[in-house]
Amino acid sequence: MTNSILPKDFLTHYWQKKPLVIRQALPGFQSPVSADELAGLALDEQVESRLVIEHGDSPWQLKNGPFTEEDFANLPPNHWTLLVQAVDHWVPEVKALLQHVDQIPRWRLDDIMISYAPEGGSVGPHYDQYDVFLLQGQGRRRWQVGPICDDNSPCLPDTKLRILADFVALDEYVLEPGDILYLPPGYAHWGVALDECQTISIGFRAPSHADVVAEFGQFVSEQLPDSLRYSDPNLEPAVNPGLIGADAIARTREIMQSLLTDENLGRWLGRYMTEPKYLDQAPATLCMDFPAIRQAVKQGLPLVTALASRFAYIPGWLFVDSREYAISDELTAFAQHLASGFDELDADFLLQEAREKPQALQILVDLVNQGALQLLEDELDDDYEKDEQDDQEDEL
């Protein structure tokens, strides 16, 4: 079942191809986060936030959070924007918006950013490298969309922001709450708040080719022994000793090709794309064993995936926050469910799997203890000290 609000032909005609406005994609929609709550998040040092002030000490001034109450008190009456990154890591109702774009693989998600602006607020004309769904959450925003830009498009000097110097609007739309503008990477755009305005940006990331090559190379190289070397046992006599011949290039290509297996590529992609967005925000680890987990589920605690955790799988492997777990074929349904993107998991199914399959039990326990799966109760850490777990062992 899908709650997607994207048209059936979205992937064929629009995804990564051209912009699309979806009027009233979510009729009656109201942002799940108030302007005050957004400002509150921007005070937190764990949250990435920015202020863009159009006419500050310099034009298009950028300030990075965390902010103080005083920073907000000193803002001009209009023409500024507060941007809060990864609100989906903090507010379950914001993460739940992902169900509406579930044709797009979850592992492509970057984050959900929310902007708040009074009238006139904007971050200037620019382009992004990522696909983005711009959902209007409050008030109205006028979007102007221009042509596709690239690294050669001139930008304004004297600002840390990449503001396009020669923005030309080709289309214009005024979005109201519940409307969505989809933009593929590269399209110039400029959104200006017409009144007090919130825009929710569901952004999808794509690794650069440079990252694919460098990071994949790093991943495979870590598995290769130093003794495995370029070799040329059937070397022909060198006519020109300085020439690197076609045979040497072919041997080098063979080395590369032997590493480009589906298994290597899949394992790298799984690890890389599930890397947590904020590496310094690992959740506290627990030491629960299976009986303790089962007990907590029996008490009615919902089993959920941590808001910031990323899950993906390929045949043979499950990836969670850049860790990989080898899985046999019989664990495919288990991995599929974990990586399904459901807000609340089917704990009975997962526990049943764990009871029947030792590999599933190990993974389940590890994921709970790593904080990627959570049993929703604040005091859980104190409840399950090591001693208590030992007492419960014979319940299994």
- Write out the residues near Co ion by the rule CB under 5 A: 128
Choose which of 65, 191, 270, 316 interacts with ligand SIN (CB under 6 A).
Answer: 191
Binding mask 110-129 for ligand SIN (x = CB under 6 A): -----x-------x----x-
In the range 65-104, which residues lie near ligand SIN by CB under 6 A? 81
How many residues form the binding site for ligand SIN (CB under 6 A)? 9
Closer residue to Co ion in complex, CB, 128/324: 128
Closer residue to ligand SIN in complex, CB, 201/309: 201
Q: Minimum Å distance from CB 153 to ligand SIN?
A: 15
Closer residue to ligand SIN in complex, CB, 38/123: 123
- Tokens 């903090």 label which residue? 90
Token pair for 92 = 């379950």
Closer residue to Co ion in complex, CB, 145/375: 145
Tell me if 201 contacts ligand SIN by CB under 6 A: yes
Q: Minimum Å distance from CB 50 to ligand SIN?
A: 10
Choose which of 189, 267, 271, 310 interacts with ligand SIN (CB under 6 A).
Answer: 189
Tell me if 374 contacts ligand SIN by CB under 6 A: no
Q: Minimum Å distance from CB 192 to ligand SIN?
A: 9
What does the alpha-carbon distance between residue 162 and residue 90 come to, in Å, rounded to a whole number? 28
Choose which of 199, 274, 305, 370 interacts with ligand SIN (CB under 6 A).
Answer: 199
Q: Minimum Å distance from CB 235 to ligand SIN?
A: 56
115 binds, among ligand SIN, Co ion, none (CB under 5 to 8 A by kind): ligand SIN
Tell me the β-bridge partners of 181.
Answer: 21, 134
What does the alpha-carbon distance between residue 293 and residue 288 come to, in Å, rounded to a whole number? 7
Tell me if 294 contacts ligand SIN by CB under 6 A: no
Residues that bind ligand SIN (CB under 6 A): 81, 115, 123, 128, 132, 189, 191, 199, 201
